[in-house]
Structure 1
């Protein structure tokens, strides 16, 4: 690969990494669940406005997905609104899209012969942006799968690189954050990061605990990048053909260390009182905000927003 090509690939990955959480609501995954539950409650209560959403699109509301909202922001809402959005390169859009499938298609595809494929774990495209992704996928030559009269795609190869960057950061940096907040003890964090960093032979006698953890975190990230790069190279053929169905972090040489980090987070961080209180308050905030905004859409409906051609942009 020539230097210019490598530079272009790095820029694509970097852009996709910067954008990867752009569609997440406040409070992260718990915020997604709160929004989905709010919509499900509205559907069950037969709200006049909400009930106008076609049945085949209700699933995308009940299981609100930040990945799909992110693609919507990039392609429609930000900058050139309803006219290409941020107008990013098709390669960047492909590298951004971890789940190249709509909610309704995913439901049937995930229960068929492709069950278990990593790109079907969630959905990443709303029906309103399907044609935008279809155009990018065609140009990029993504492997296409047909599910009855619907279509989904195998992941763009660079998705696995973007996903690895995310996995590396949240596993390692979250562990450092847990030490900083006092949720996980120094010895536990130090021991895991010391091994992840390759057991560096450095004199840390003058370091504070925070300085030592920061140093080990930085080295660990570098080692993790190297490990995931090797995993990509070893599975290059499967990745390029669209048959690869794992995350690089799950199969690389540091797999066991990532699993230890996840276990610590699950046992010590996700169950912490601070996080539980945040999720509970966050859920209440999101429900109150969405309930408060609903009358605005009801007013738009009464004033004839359907006639103004706004229906497609909301649905």
Structure 2
């Protein structure tokens, strides 16, 4: 892969190239990507979607929206720092093509901003709940009507693939979806493969999948424009990652490692003294002991250590990225950047504490159970209504349900796969509170 092609400013849906030297410096194309994402309805809905603690009423607990904003800030810094060194290594990118270090930061920031845009309500348990509906629930009856890959899309419903659909899917009056640059779409796609074969290798790009069967051609277009290396075989579509995807992933890893840990401390799920000890291990080379001991509140101490920890991991991630840039361009770098970090042990310790004390806490588990019930009922209700309408057997109840969708789902779609996927896309678009509200209406629960 080469950087000239990877830094494509062409927008999804364009029929022509866009040159960096022709860009308006006051409103660069990669920065327009960021603006389009942040003003989209799908991004706004993240303000009421779970990050770790579902339906929390506490001010300082993160939602998907605040998490995404923080990841984009970290991503921008990662991109700029890496971009500065890449421009120095490949001066023709600047001298001939006009690229600047901040271009790299803008791409990573935009892709990082959108990284959770396809996630359903109730966090990762929402993805699992959709999958369970088709693996073991009422949706299992449709298996015989689907190809293996179509069925796998539903059984392993993936927020990353749903995000790619949101960013690229055309609809009336909005050709090319949100119309982002190919570079941002490439950097966004952490797992540039289809749902089968499942985890064919231990390469990090094979961990999950990044696009539905309905969007294969769209991603193939992105891959060809960017010159991504094909890794597929036997007719299966798979590509090497866009190099900047590693920085997007690192930004997410840094934020959830440190900030989910911080949320656990603030909620009292992790003891302050115990937690601070682990953070100090991570920042022992940069902490100013005198300043630290002047801080009198838990929140101030945590904020100080959090800032140092994020800065430490940013510099570490950029260092690993630059050291392995050749392997990344060749598609042979097989792990996340922080997996090669000298702080790997400290990071794993912090994550393990978060898993045991936060992700598996009683509050989180009980609300995930609620999420499973809500999503199952929504899917069962909508799938039944949509398919009965298509088959001409809709009951009056089915018709009432369809009236609430206001055209959000095409009931005339001939392919059962696309009808089922459209229901999943709709349910995934709901915020936590909206999903619960609809559930209560369907169940006749007073509210």
Q: 2:121 is paired with a residue of what secondary structure?
A: coil
1:287 matched residue in structure 2: 376
Q: CA deviation at 1:116?
A: 0.9
Output the CA distance in 1 between the equivalents of 2:172 and 2:214: 18
**More moved, 190-199 vs 59-68:** 190-199
> In the alignment, is the contact (CA less than 8 A) between 1:79 and 1:85 conserved in 2?
no
Superposed CA offset, 1:216-274 (max 9, x none):
11121111100111111111111111000100111112212111111111222222111
1:202 matched residue in structure 2: 290
Q: 2:244 is paired with a residue of what secondary structure?
A: helix
> In the alignment, is the contact (CA less than 8 A) between 1:38 and 1:287 conserved in 2?
yes
Match of 1:94 among 186, 189, 205: 186
2:176 matched residue in structure 1: 84
Match of 1:191 among 257, 271, 277: 277
Output the CA distance in 2 between the equivalents of 1:77 and 1:189: 47
Q: 2:237 is paired with a residue of what secondary structure?
A: strand
| Aligned-CA RMSD value | 2.3
Q: 2:110 is paired with a residue of what secondary structure?
A: helix
The answer for unaligned runs of 5 or more in structure 2 is 1-86, 88-93, 394-409, 422-447
2:120 matched residue in structure 1: 25
Output the CA distance in 1 between the equivalents of 2:152 and 2:337: 30
Q: CA deviation at 1:101?
A: 0.7
Output the CA distance in 2 between the equivalents of 1:151 and 1:219: 41
Q: CA deviation at 1:312?
A: 7.4
Residue 150 of structure 2 is aligned to residue 64 of structure 1: no
Q: TM-score, normalised by structure 2?
A: 0.64
Taking the TM superposition and a 5 Å limit, the aligned residue runs for 1:258-277 are 258-277=347-366
1:73 matched residue in structure 2: 166
Q: 1:133 is paired with a residue of what secondary structure?
A: helix
Output the CA distance in 2 between the equivalents of 1:42 and 1:102: 24
Q: CA deviation at 1:27?
A: 1.4
TM-aligned CA distance change 1:31 to 1:79, over 3 Å = farther
Superposed CA offset, 1:256-302 (max 9, x none):
21111111112222221111111111111111221222233124413
Q: 2:332 is paired with a residue of what secondary structure?
A: coil
Give the paired residue count. Answer: 305
> In the alignment, is the contact (CA less than 8 A) between 2:138 and 2:380 conserved in 1?
no
Taking the TM superposition and a 5 Å limit, the aligned residue runs for 1:134-283 are 134-198=220-284, 199-203=287-291, 204-283=293-372
TM-aligned CA distance change 1:312 to 1:278, over 3 Å = closer
**More moved, 296-305 vs 236-245:** 296-305
Q: CA deviation at 1:209?
A: 1.2
Q: CA deviation at 1:306?
A: 7.6
TM-aligned CA distance change 1:284 to 1:21, over 3 Å = same
The answer for unaligned runs of 5 or more in structure 1 is none
Q: 1:147 is paired with a residue of what secondary structure?
A: coil
> In the alignment, is the contact (CA less than 8 A) between 2:390 and 2:412 conserved in 1?
no
Q: 2:289 is paired with a residue of what secondary structure?
A: coil
> In the alignment, is the contact (CA less than 8 A) between 1:78 and 1:86 conserved in 2?
no
TM-aligned CA distance change 1:14 to 1:300, over 3 Å = farther
TM-aligned CA distance change 1:32 to 1:177, over 3 Å = same
**More moved, 190-199 vs 205-214:** 190-199
> In the alignment, is the contact (CA less than 8 A) between 1:172 and 1:220 conserved in 2?
yes
Q: 2:333 is paired with a residue of what secondary structure?
A: coil
> In the alignment, is the contact (CA less than 8 A) between 2:317 and 2:338 conserved in 1?
yes
Q: CA deviation at 1:188?
A: 1.6
Match of 1:133 among 219, 226, 240: 219
Q: 1:145 is paired with a residue of what secondary structure?
A: coil
TM-aligned CA distance change 1:78 to 1:23, over 3 Å = farther
